[in-house]
A and B are shown apart, each in its own frame.
Chain A
Amino acid sequence: MWTCKTTWKKLAPLARTCSTLCRQNARRTVLNSDRRLPMVTQAHMSSGTPGSGGDNNLYYLLVGATCIAGGFYAYRTIKGDQERYNERMNEIASRANKVAEQAETYLPEEPRGDEAVETPEETSPEVTAEEPEGPPVELEAEIEEAPVADLALEEVVEMPCAPTQSEPSPVAESPPAETAEPQTTTVTESAADPATDEPTNVPPPAPVEFPSHAPYLLIGGGTASFAAARSIRARDPGARVLIITDEPDLPYMRPPLSKELWFSDDPGVVDTLRFKQWNGKERSIYFQPPSFYVSPQDLEKVENGGVAVLTGKKVVHMDVRGNKVTLSDNTEISYDKCLIATGGVPRNLQVIERAGEEVTKRTTLFRKVEDFKALNKVSRDTKSITIIGGGFLGSELACALGRRSADSDLEVIQMFPEKGNMGKVLPEYLSNWTTAKVRSEGVRVITEALVKGVSFKDGKVEIKLKDGRVVKTDHIVAAVGLEPSVELAKSAGLEVDSDFGGYRVNAELQARSNIWVAGDAACFYDIRLGRRRVEHHDHAVVSGRLAGENMTGANKPYWHQSMFWSDLGPDVGYEAIGIVDSSLPTVGVFAKATAKDTPKAATEKSGTGIRSESETEGTASSTATSSTPAPPPEPQQKDDYGKGVIFYLRDKVVVGIVLWNVFNRMPIARKIIKDGEEHADLNEVAKLFNIHED
Chain B
Amino acid sequence: MSYCKQEGKDRIIFVTKEDHEAPSNAELIADDPNDPYEDQGLILPSGEINWNCPCLGGMASGPCGTQFKEAFSCFHHSSEEVKGSECVDNFRAMQECMQKYPELYPQEDENQGAASGGSDAPTEDSAPTPTSDLTPTPESAPSSDNTPPTDIQAHS
Contact = CB atoms under 8 A, between A and B. Distances in A.
Interface in A240-291: 253, 281, 283-284, 286-289, 291
Interface stretch (A135-143, A231-239, A382-390, A451-459): A231-239
Contacts of B66: 237-238, 304
B32 to A, nearest CB: 11
A650 interface: no
**Residue of B15, B19, B58, B132 most packed against chain A (CB within 10 A):** B132
B135 A288 contact: no
A234 B51 contact: yes
B69 A541 contact: no
Interface in B133-147: 133-139, 141-143
A617 B119 contact: yes
A233 B15 contact: no
A288 B104 contact: yes
Contact of B130 (A233, A284, A609): A609
Secondary structure call for the B interface:
loop
Interface string A194-235: 000000000000000000000000000001001101111111
B14 A591 contact: yes
Secondary structure call for the A interface:
mixed
A613 B13 contact: no
**Residue of B7, B19, B20 most packed against chain A (CB within 10 A):** B20
B101 to A, nearest CB: 5
Interface string A674-688: 010101010111111
B54 A292 contact: no
Contacts of B8: 428
B154 interface: no
B55 A304 contact: no
Nearest to B121: A617
A616 B12 contact: no
A232 to B, nearest CB: 8
Interface stretch (A120-128, A372-380, A396-404, A629-637): A629-637
B18 interface: yes
Contacts of A632: 16-18
Nearest to A629: B17
A590 B58 contact: no
B25 interface: yes
Interface in B86-127: 101, 103-104, 116-119, 122-123, 126-127
Given A289-B104, A292-B62, A585-B9, A692 B20 contact: yes
Contacts of B155: none
A159 interface: no
A616 B58 contact: no
B123 A306 contact: no
Nearest to A641: B12
B139 A623 contact: yes
Contact of B29 (A537, A560, A612, A675): A675
A630 B37 CA distance: 38
A619 B38 contact: no
B63 to A, nearest CB: 6
Contact of A617 (B16, B22, B52, B122): B122
Nearest to B67: A304
Interface string A288-320: 110110100000000010110000000000000
Given A283-B128, A292-B101, A304-B65, 18 more contacts: A230-B58, A235-B52, A287-B132, A292-B104, A563-B134, A586-B10, A587-B13, A588-B10, A588-B11, A588-B12, A610-B131, A613-B130, A618-B41, A624-B139, A632-B18, A633-B16, A677-B27, A687-B24
Q: Which 10 A-B pairs have the closest CB atoms?
A: A233-B61, A687-B24, A615-B136, A559-B37, A613-B130, A618-B141, A234-B51, A619-B119, A585-B9, A684-B26
